[in-house]
Structure 1
Amino acid sequence: MDLPFAVYILKCSDDTYYTGFTTNINNRLNAHNKKEVQYTKYRLPLELVHLSLFSNKQKAYDYERYLKSGSGIAFRNKRLVLNS
């Protein structure tokens, strides 16, 4: 089964989190590390703390949107980034 859609969470050097969606996690992480992403370019180094893979684009997109909502941030902090 091919799982081409990824939702990921990065922990930044200033202890903030970046949540993103991509179809190619390796290319996206390289873009972050090359300072090509505005939010993270001054927050290096980054640590990948969560990765979810989906076969359905809409479900991945919906999950990313949820993680950026108030209740999604609470869920992230309680369940996904424990002690990171």
Structure 2
Amino acid sequence: MKEMTWTVYMLECSDGTLYTGISSNVEQRLAHHEKGKGARYTKGRGPFTVVYVEPKETKGEALKREKAIKSLRRQEKVRLIAEFRRLRE
């Protein structure tokens, strides 16, 4: 049986706000957000841009990291996104 990988992701909403969530399929989850069927927070805030992804081996690890990211100040989240982009170049 294939192990499921979980991903912590951040979206930039059309209003400039950031949303953090977890999913086992980020592309599918993004489609739900775009249709207004994702999280309550994202409803009406699309279109979205995925600005950060961090894979985790278990759902528990993903949930812990999501909570940690959500507790960051916006400035700290922006730095995390910038570092992610820098590493992807």
TM-score interval for Structure 1 and Structure 2 normalised by the shorter chain: 0.7 to 0.9
SS at structure 2 position matched to 1:80: helix
SS at structure 1 position matched to 2:41: coil
Tell me which protein shows more helix as a share of its residues. Answer: 2
Could you list the structure 1 runs, at least 4 aligned residues long, displaced by more than 6 angstroms after superposition. none
CA-atom RMSD in angstroms: 2.3
Letter matched to residue 78 of structure 1: R
Matched, 1:69 2:71: yes
Percent same amino acid among aligned pairs?
32
Runs of at least 5 residues in structure 1 that lack an aligned partner in the other structure? none
The answer for the alignment partner of 1:25 in structure 2 is 26
Label 1:42 to 1:76 Cα distance change in 2 as closer, same or farther (>3 A): same
* Distance in 2, Cα, partners of 1:57 & 1:10: 19
Matched pairs, number: 82
Deviation at 1:66, TM superposition (A): 0.2
* Distance in 2, Cα, partners of 1:81 & 1:46: 17
Label 1:81 to 1:33 Cα distance change in 2 as closer, same or farther (>3 A): farther
Normalising by structure 1, report the TM-score.
0.81
